[in-house]
Protein backbone atom coordinates (compact mmCIF):
# COMPACT_ATOMS: atom_id res chain seq x y z
CA UNK A 1 0.00 0.00 0.00
CA UNK A 2 1.31 3.46 -0.84
CA UNK A 3 2.11 5.97 1.90
CA UNK A 4 -0.58 8.24 0.50
CA UNK A 5 -3.27 5.59 0.96
CA UNK A 6 -1.96 4.75 4.43
CA UNK A 7 -2.13 8.43 5.35
CA UNK A 8 -5.68 8.74 4.04
CA UNK A 9 -6.76 5.80 6.16
CA UNK A 10 -5.28 7.31 9.32
CA UNK A 11 -8.18 8.20 11.62
CA UNK A 12 -10.89 6.83 9.35
CA UNK A 13 -13.20 4.00 10.28
CA UNK A 14 -14.51 0.92 8.51
CA UNK A 15 -17.78 -0.40 9.91
CA UNK A 16 -17.78 -4.22 9.71
CA UNK A 17 -21.14 -4.81 11.39
CA UNK A 18 -23.51 -2.78 13.64
CA UNK A 19 -21.21 -3.12 16.66
CA UNK A 20 -17.89 -3.93 14.99
CA UNK A 21 -15.43 -1.60 13.29
CA UNK A 22 -11.82 -0.98 12.31
CA UNK A 23 -10.32 2.27 13.66
CA UNK A 24 -7.54 2.85 11.14
CA UNK A 25 -4.33 4.21 12.65
CA UNK A 26 -5.99 4.72 16.02
CA UNK A 27 -2.97 3.39 17.97
CA UNK A 28 -0.25 5.00 15.81
CA UNK A 29 0.51 7.80 18.27
CA UNK A 30 1.03 5.40 21.17
CA UNK A 31 2.59 2.48 19.27
CA UNK A 32 6.04 3.16 20.73
CA UNK A 33 4.68 3.17 24.28
CA UNK A 34 2.70 -0.02 23.66
CA UNK A 35 5.77 -1.78 22.24
CA UNK A 36 7.88 -0.74 25.24
CA UNK A 37 5.22 -2.25 27.48
CA UNK A 38 5.22 -5.46 25.41
CA UNK A 39 8.99 -5.69 25.95
CA UNK A 40 8.45 -5.35 29.71
CA UNK A 41 5.74 -8.05 29.71
CA UNK A 42 7.90 -10.36 27.62
CA UNK A 43 10.87 -9.96 30.01
CA UNK A 44 8.67 -11.18 32.84
CA UNK A 45 6.40 -13.66 31.04
CA UNK A 46 8.08 -14.85 27.81
CA UNK A 47 6.18 -15.62 24.61
CA UNK A 48 5.42 -19.32 24.35
CA UNK A 49 3.64 -21.68 21.95
CA UNK A 50 0.69 -23.19 23.80
CA UNK A 51 -0.65 -26.67 23.16
CA UNK A 52 -4.34 -27.02 22.25
CA UNK A 53 -6.61 -29.56 23.95
CA UNK A 54 -6.30 -31.57 20.72
CA UNK A 55 -2.51 -31.74 21.12
CA UNK A 56 -1.50 -29.25 18.43
CA UNK A 57 1.18 -26.64 19.07
CA UNK A 58 -0.23 -23.18 18.26
CA UNK A 59 1.61 -21.21 15.56
CA UNK A 60 0.94 -17.93 17.33
CA UNK A 61 3.27 -17.29 20.30
CA UNK A 62 1.44 -15.86 23.31
CA UNK A 63 1.84 -14.17 26.64
CA UNK A 64 -0.53 -12.15 28.85
CA UNK A 65 -0.90 -8.98 30.86
CA UNK A 66 -3.67 -8.17 33.32
CA UNK A 67 -5.58 -9.89 36.12
CA UNK A 68 -6.36 -12.90 33.93
CA UNK A 69 -4.27 -14.63 31.31
CA UNK A 70 -5.57 -16.90 28.58
CA UNK A 71 -4.04 -20.39 28.73
CA UNK A 72 -4.37 -23.60 26.79
CA UNK A 73 -3.10 -27.08 27.43
CA UNK A 74 -4.26 -30.70 27.02
CA UNK A 75 -6.92 -30.09 29.70
CA UNK A 76 -8.59 -27.24 27.80
CA UNK A 77 -8.76 -23.47 27.37
CA UNK A 78 -9.15 -21.24 30.44
CA UNK A 79 -8.21 -17.98 32.09
CA UNK A 80 -5.73 -18.14 34.96
CA UNK A 81 -4.57 -15.43 37.36
CA UNK A 82 -1.11 -16.99 37.33
CA UNK A 83 1.35 -17.87 34.60
CA UNK A 84 1.44 -21.68 34.57
CA UNK A 85 5.12 -21.29 33.61
CA UNK A 86 6.54 -20.19 36.96
CA UNK A 87 3.32 -19.62 38.91
CA UNK A 88 3.64 -15.82 39.21
CA UNK A 89 0.71 -13.46 38.60
CA UNK A 90 0.70 -12.07 35.05
CA UNK A 91 2.32 -8.62 34.71
CA UNK A 92 -0.21 -5.86 35.39
CA UNK A 93 -1.77 -3.96 32.52
CA UNK A 94 0.09 -0.71 31.94
CA UNK A 95 -1.60 2.71 31.96
CA UNK A 96 -0.90 2.98 28.20
CA UNK A 97 -2.65 -0.37 27.55
CA UNK A 98 -5.69 0.55 29.64
CA UNK A 99 -5.96 4.03 28.15
CA UNK A 100 -5.72 2.89 24.53
CA UNK A 101 -8.24 0.10 25.08
CA UNK A 102 -10.74 2.45 26.74
CA UNK A 103 -10.23 5.18 24.12
CA UNK A 104 -10.72 2.75 21.21
CA UNK A 105 -13.77 1.16 22.82
CA UNK A 106 -15.32 4.60 23.41
CA UNK A 107 -14.62 5.63 19.80
CA UNK A 108 -16.41 2.46 18.69
CA UNK A 109 -19.42 3.17 20.91
CA UNK A 110 -18.58 1.23 24.08
CA UNK A 111 -18.29 3.55 27.08
CA UNK A 112 -16.47 2.81 30.35
CA UNK A 113 -14.50 -0.18 29.03
CA UNK A 114 -12.18 -1.64 31.65
CA UNK A 115 -10.53 -4.82 30.35
CA UNK A 116 -9.12 -7.31 32.85
CA UNK A 117 -7.08 -9.34 30.35
CA UNK A 118 -4.75 -8.60 27.48
CA UNK A 119 -3.56 -11.51 25.39
CA UNK A 120 -0.34 -10.56 23.57
CA UNK A 121 0.16 -12.50 20.34
CA UNK A 122 3.27 -12.71 18.19
CA UNK A 123 2.97 -13.80 14.57
CA UNK A 124 6.14 -14.74 12.70
CA UNK A 125 5.88 -14.67 8.89
CA UNK A 126 3.73 -17.58 7.72
CA UNK A 127 1.75 -17.72 10.97
CA UNK A 128 -2.03 -17.87 10.75
CA UNK A 129 -4.90 -18.08 13.20
CA UNK A 130 -7.82 -20.17 12.04
CA UNK A 131 -11.43 -18.98 12.34
CA UNK A 132 -12.62 -19.08 15.93
CA UNK A 133 -14.90 -17.39 18.45
CA UNK A 134 -13.53 -15.87 21.65
CA UNK A 135 -15.79 -17.78 24.05
CA UNK A 136 -13.76 -18.38 27.21
CA UNK A 137 -14.86 -15.08 28.79
CA UNK A 138 -17.82 -14.80 31.19
CA UNK A 139 -18.68 -11.42 29.66
CA UNK A 140 -19.99 -12.06 26.13
CA UNK A 141 -21.12 -8.45 25.54
CA UNK A 142 -18.12 -6.27 26.42
CA UNK A 143 -15.99 -5.66 23.33
CA UNK A 144 -12.78 -7.28 22.21
CA UNK A 145 -10.26 -4.55 21.35
CA UNK A 146 -7.56 -5.85 19.03
CA UNK A 147 -4.47 -3.75 18.24
CA UNK A 148 -2.18 -4.53 15.27
CA UNK A 149 1.52 -3.65 15.43
CA UNK A 150 4.30 -4.43 12.98
CA UNK A 151 3.81 -6.45 9.79
CA UNK A 152 0.44 -6.08 8.04
CA UNK A 153 -2.06 -8.91 8.05
CA UNK A 154 -5.43 -9.86 6.63
CA UNK A 155 -8.07 -10.24 9.30
CA UNK A 156 -11.05 -12.48 8.61
CA UNK A 157 -14.34 -11.32 10.08
CA UNK A 158 -17.19 -13.75 9.68
CA UNK A 159 -20.62 -14.58 11.04
CA UNK A 160 -21.98 -16.61 13.93
CA UNK A 161 -21.32 -19.98 12.33
CA UNK A 162 -17.89 -21.16 11.19
CA UNK A 163 -19.14 -21.77 7.66
CA UNK A 164 -20.51 -18.22 7.24
CA UNK A 165 -18.70 -16.15 4.66
CA UNK A 166 -15.96 -13.99 6.18
CA UNK A 167 -14.87 -10.59 4.87
CA UNK A 168 -11.13 -9.93 4.45
CA UNK A 169 -9.94 -6.87 6.30
CA UNK A 170 -6.41 -5.55 5.66
CA UNK A 171 -4.78 -4.47 8.93
CA UNK A 172 -1.75 -2.19 9.22
CA UNK A 173 0.54 -1.15 12.06
CA UNK A 174 -1.58 1.02 14.38
CA UNK A 175 -5.01 -0.26 13.33
CA UNK A 176 -7.50 -1.26 16.02
CA UNK A 177 -10.46 -3.61 15.53
CA UNK A 178 -13.30 -3.45 18.05
CA UNK A 179 -16.19 -5.92 18.20
CA UNK A 180 -18.77 -6.25 20.97
CA UNK A 181 -22.46 -6.30 21.80
CA UNK A 182 -24.46 -8.22 19.22
CA UNK A 183 -21.29 -8.85 17.17
CA UNK A 184 -19.14 -10.08 20.06
CA UNK A 185 -19.45 -13.78 19.17
CA UNK A 186 -18.58 -13.51 15.48
CA UNK A 187 -16.00 -15.91 14.07
CA UNK A 188 -12.69 -14.27 13.19
CA UNK A 189 -9.14 -15.24 12.24
CA UNK A 190 -5.93 -14.11 10.57
CA UNK A 191 -4.55 -15.26 7.18
CA UNK A 192 -0.86 -16.30 7.08
CA UNK A 193 1.31 -13.22 7.70
CA UNK A 194 3.39 -12.44 4.60
CA UNK A 195 7.18 -12.24 4.98
CA UNK A 196 8.50 -8.73 5.37
CA UNK A 197 10.15 -6.35 7.75
CA UNK A 198 8.48 -3.51 9.59
CA UNK A 199 10.71 -0.48 10.25
CA UNK A 200 10.09 -0.50 13.99
CA UNK A 201 8.82 -3.97 14.88
CA UNK A 202 10.95 -6.07 12.50
CA UNK A 203 9.93 -9.38 10.96
CA UNK A 204 6.84 -9.99 13.04
CA UNK A 205 3.31 -8.91 13.79
CA UNK A 206 2.34 -8.18 17.38
CA UNK A 207 -1.34 -8.20 18.30
CA UNK A 208 -2.81 -7.04 21.59
CA UNK A 209 -6.27 -8.46 22.32
CA UNK A 210 -8.05 -6.84 25.23
CA UNK A 211 -11.01 -8.59 26.84
CA UNK A 212 -13.27 -8.33 29.82
CA UNK A 213 -13.25 -11.82 31.30
CA UNK A 214 -15.20 -11.47 34.59
| Binds ligand MD6 (CB under 6 A): choice among 72, 121, 127, 172 | 121
Q: Which does 146 bind (CB under 5 to 8 A by kind): Fe ion, ligand MD6, none?
A: ligand MD6
Pair 29, 23: CB distance under 8 Å: no
65 binds, among Fe ion, ligand MD6, none (CB under 5 to 8 A by kind): none
> Which residues lie across from 17 on neighbouring strands?
20
Nearest CA to 140 among 72, 212, 64, 69?
A: 212
* CA angle, 131 then 141 then 59, to 5°: 25
Nearer to Fe ion by C-beta: 23 or 190? 190
Residue showing the smallest CB distance to ligand MD6 in the complex = 207
Residue 183 makes contact with Fe ion by CB under 5 A: no
The residue among 173 and 186 lying less far from Fe ion, judged by its C-beta, is: 186
Distance between CA atoms of residues 153 and 213, nearest Å: 26
175 near ligand MD6 (CB under 6 A): no
Distances (CA, A) of 203 to 63, 86, 151, 158, 191: 18, 28, 7, 28, 16
Kindly state the smallest distance separating residue 189's Cβ from Fe ion, in Å. 8
Residue 119 binding ligand MD6, by CB under 6 A: yes
Output DSSP code: residue 87: S
> Do the Cβ atoms of 68 and 80 come closer than 8 Å?
yes
C-alpha closest to that of 184 among 20, 16, 15, 70: 20
Count residues contacting Fe ion (CB under 5 A)? 1
Window contacting Fe ion (CB under 5 A); options: 39-47, 75-83, 102-110, 126-134: 126-134
Residues 6+ apart with CB under 8 A from 86: 45
Q: Is 134 in the site for Fe ion (CB under 5 A)?
A: yes
Q: How far is the CB of 49 from ligand MD6 (least distance, A)?
A: 12
* Binding positions for Fe ion, rule: CB under 5 A: 134
Chain contacts with ligand MD6 (rule: CB under 6 A)? 60, 119, 121, 129, 134, 146, 148, 155, 188, 190, 207, 209
Amino acid sequence: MSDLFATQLHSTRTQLAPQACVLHGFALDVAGALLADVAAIEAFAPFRHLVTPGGHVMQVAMTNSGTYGWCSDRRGYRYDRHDPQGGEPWPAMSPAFLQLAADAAREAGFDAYVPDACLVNRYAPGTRLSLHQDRDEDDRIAPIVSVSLGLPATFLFGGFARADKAVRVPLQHGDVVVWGGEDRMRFHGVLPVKPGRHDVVGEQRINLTFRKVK
